[in-house]
Amino acid sequence: MKAWQYMGDRKPIQLNEVPEPEPGPTQVIIDVKAAGLCHSDVMYMEVGDAVMPFLPMTQGHENAGVITALGSEVTGFKVGDVVGVCSSGVQPPTGMFTPGGFADKLAADYRDLARVPEGLDISLAALATDAGMTSYHAMIKVGKAAKGMKVGVIGFGGLGQIGARAAVLAGAEVHVAEMKEEAWANAKEAGVASCVKDAAEWVTDPRRGGDFDLIVDYAGFDTTQKAVNAVRRGGKVVQVGLGKPTFTVATNTILGKSIEGSLGGTVADIEEVFDLMLRGEITPGYEEISFDQVGDGLERLKNNQVLGRLVARFGE
């Protein structure tokens, strides 16, 4: 079968012929129908030689498809079920520590499977397994966005658009910092109160900073310090974005505030996002590409040329 693999030495992802996977006792084999592309894929190619347990690595951690084979200990699922794969569950993360879904077939632990409801488009199902899960978990479960809170969202991209909408649905007053002004109209349609290009504009008093209760940083470039500056004392910054492998924060600016990293989420988070998508409450913008365009798509992400999310459709 075909698979897009990171070969090492920070080289671009490469399309190779690889053996088809066999299911372990607790695994299923999935014919991948859709796989989302993520900035994390790009970041792991920058540092992958140091963290990936083996090379080459088949990438792709945002996957949905149809079960075609079952391991001997699998319960609750059958051949033909349509599922999404949680990338932060029982099995080590796919596409980073185990072979991922930029391939015709994928092996996944059955305990990491989220059932895709009938009527939900498979592209939405795929992006919900990471962009949906990660953004929703950070905003609702870690940040605890709720009615009456003033919430900032840094980055209205693949994750930020979902996190912002989740906060709006929770009843929060939501503001977005997004440098691409062409995304502002979509933010306003999602119920966002205002948009700025730079989170530094949220600092209303140079001595006291801003008045946000919660800021979720889905970018992770030079944005974390700006988030800390704009959140009030007693407020929280939730860090999600991995735009850069390292960043610095001035020590005196974190006093009386908290910074918490949020990584991934749960199968329950995914299924909650599935439900919101099915009901039309969350409608993220995305662009479909073909399996053959995965390599080019990652280059577009690397060069900041994507609005919303890219989803590869294949295996049909």
- The string over 39-72, giving b where at least 16 C-beta atoms fall within 10 Å of a residue's C-beta and e elsewhere, is bbbbbbbeebeeebeeebbbbbbbbbbbbebbbe
Residue 315 has pLDDT above 70, yes or no: no
- Closest among 270, 287, 229, 242 to 87, alpha carbons compared: 270
Q: Give the list of residues 6+ apart from residue 7 with CB closer than 8 angstroms, or none.
A: 14, 55, 56
The whole-angstrom separation of Cα 139 and Cα 168 is 11
* Whole-structure pTM value: 0.92
pLDDT band at 40 (very low <50, low <70, confident <90, very high): confident
User: Nearest 10 degrees: CA dihedral of 207, 210, 211, 213?
Assistant: -120
Beta carbons of 65 and 32 less than 8 angstroms apart:
yes
Q: What is the mean pLDDT of residues 56-69?
A: 96
CA distance to 31, 56, 69, 106, 267, per residue, from 78 (Å): 13, 31, 8, 16, 18
CA distance to 25, 42, 72, 94, per residue, from 75 (Å): 11, 35, 9, 21
Beta carbons of 83 and 114 less than 8 angstroms apart:
yes
DSSP letter for 131, please. I
- Closest among 160, 136, 153 to 274, alpha carbons compared: 136
pLDDT of residue 269: 97
Domain boundary assignment for the chain: 2-129+265-313, 144-261
Complete DSSP assignment for 201-263: GG--BTTTB--EEEEEES--SS-HHHHHHHEEEEEEEEE---SSS-----GGGGTT-EEEE--
Beta carbons of 217 and 154 less than 8 angstroms apart:
yes
The whole-angstrom separation of Cα 142 and Cα 263 is 10
Beta carbons of 217 and 232 less than 8 angstroms apart:
no
Q: Over the stretch 196-243, which tens digit does the pLDDT of each residue have?
A: 999 999 998 777 789 999 999 999 888 999 999 999 999 999 999 877
Residue 316 has pLDDT above 60, yes or no: no
Alpha helices in 103-156 (DSSP H): 122-127, 133-136
Beta carbons of 130 and 35 less than 8 angstroms apart:
no
The whole-angstrom separation of Cα 205 and Cα 219 is 24
CATH number (3.30.70.100, 2.60.120.260, 3.40.50.720, 3.40.47.10) of 144-261 reads 3.40.50.720
- Reduced to 3 states, what is the DSSP secondary structure of residue 32? strand
Q: For the chain, give the percent of residues with pLDDT over 90.
A: 78
Question: Which CATH number does 2-129+265-313 carry?
Answer: 3.90.180.10
Beta carbons of 265 and 273 less than 8 angstroms apart:
no
Residue 125 has pLDDT above 90, yes or no: yes
Beta carbons of 34 and 65 less than 8 angstroms apart:
yes
pLDDT of residue 168: 98
Q: What is the mean pLDDT of residues 166-185?
A: 97
Identical fold for domains 2-129+265-313 and 144-261, yes or no, is no
User: Nearest 10 degrees: CA dihedral of 136, 141, 142, 144?
Assistant: 100
